[in-house]
């Protein structure tokens, strides 16, 4: 409701603004979007697993829709290009953050693989072929084996109950009793009643876990052991953050490519209906007018997807999500 009230108000103010001063909307719209995102994230703080979908299907959907409306009514190709350039710039900043996080995660995985090879240089099995998901789940199932002393930034339980067996529930209880995981994202009601329904609570499934004591290392631990624990902890935190951002960006880019096409279709259908008389600003719309206005926005987002997103699937560019890079070692 807040978004439905804020963005129409912004559109009214945009229409009342003189054409020469509409460039100020380039600053106002990103501010509205930034504030709306944080408001939705705060409102959905107890549903952390669904934040990417909630934000993308509310804030970004409204933002792209009203951006299409502003472009269609701007009456200036220069102003339309500025709107598109601003939106593309924000998207590139998001990709830059994802690139920085993925670089950190990839470096940690390379260090772990090198460590395994040093321990057994004559053996090459599946344990040495590390990938992101396998590495994260391995560390979170048994943090003590990787010298991890704290995962306070990582939430153990899912925000909504999931099915799991009795053994899996016991494993989760052991991890919770260890005190390694932080309370961030937990429901207040769940936190107060966790002790009497641990075995009934259902969350994500995990593999077998030995019932071991998970406590911080002794003060006499070597720097190498401490560094190993820090790298494992950083892998979990940065890896989960990378997966979170990738899910969000995939949803946003899909919305930003589909909504302009739907808006153009809506305008074409509206132009053929009798109630076009009640839309005086659209009485001269046609296929050519709509294509000339919206093709730049669609082309800009398609360019990002083709150049950046689709290239991730090409092994010869070094984008191997299995982090094995077998193509480097294969003979030509």
Q: What is the DSSP string of 188-214?
A: HHHHHHGGGSTTT--------------
pTM score: 0.61
Cα within 13 Å of Cα(287), Cβ side: 0
Amino acid 313: pLDDT: 52
Contact 166, 181 (CB under 8 A): no
| DSSP letter (8 states) at residue 17 | S
Contact 57, 251 (CB under 8 A): yes
Contact 233, 148 (CB under 8 A): yes
Amino acid 187: pLDDT: 40
| DSSP letter (8 states) at residue 152 | E
Ranges of residues in the chain whose predicted pLDDT is under 70 = 1-8, 10, 25, 74-75, 116-130, 182-228, 275-299, 301-332
């Amino acid at each position: 409701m807040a978004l439905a009230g804020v963005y129409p108000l912004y559109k009214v103010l945009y229409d009342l603004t003189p054409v020469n001063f509409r460039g100020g909307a380039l600053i106002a719209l990103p501010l509205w979007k930034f504030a709306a995102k944080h408001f939705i994230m705060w409102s959905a703080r107890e549903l952390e697993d669904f934040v990417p979908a909630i934000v993308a299907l509310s804030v970004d959907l409204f933002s792209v829709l009203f951006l299409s409306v502003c472009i269609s009514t701007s009456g200036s190709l220069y102003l339309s290009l500025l709107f598109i350039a601003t939106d593309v710039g924000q998207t590139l900043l998001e990709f830059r953050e994802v690139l920085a996080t993925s670089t950190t995660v990839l470096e940690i995985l390379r260090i772990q693989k090198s460590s395994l090879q040093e321990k057994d240089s004559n053996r090459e099995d599946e344990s040495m072929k590390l990938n992101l998901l396998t590495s994260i789940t391995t560390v979170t199932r048994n943090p003590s084996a990787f010298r991890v002393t704290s995962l306070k930034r990582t939430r153990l339980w899912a925000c909504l109950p999931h099915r799991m067996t009795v053994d899996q529930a016991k494993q989760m209880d052991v991890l919770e009793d260890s005190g390694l995981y932080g309370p961030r994202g937990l429901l207040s009601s769940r936190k107060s009643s966790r002790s009497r329904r641990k075995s009934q609570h259902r969350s994500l499934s995990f593999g077998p876990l030995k019932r071991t004591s998970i406590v911080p290392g002794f003060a006499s631990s070597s720097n190498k052991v401490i560094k190993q624990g820090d790298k494992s902890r950083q892998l979990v935190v940065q890896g989960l953050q990378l997966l979170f951002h990738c899910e969000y960006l995939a949803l946003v880019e899909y919305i930003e490519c589909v909504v302009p096409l739907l808006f153009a279709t809506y305008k074409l259908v509206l132009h053929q209906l009798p109630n076009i008389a009640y839309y005086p600003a659209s009485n001269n719309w046609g296929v050519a007018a709509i294509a000339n206005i919206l093709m730049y926005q669609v082309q800009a987002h398609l360019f990002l997807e083709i150049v950046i997103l689709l290239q991730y699937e090409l092994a010869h560019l070094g984008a191997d999500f299995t982090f094995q890079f077998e193509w480097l070692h294969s003979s030509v």
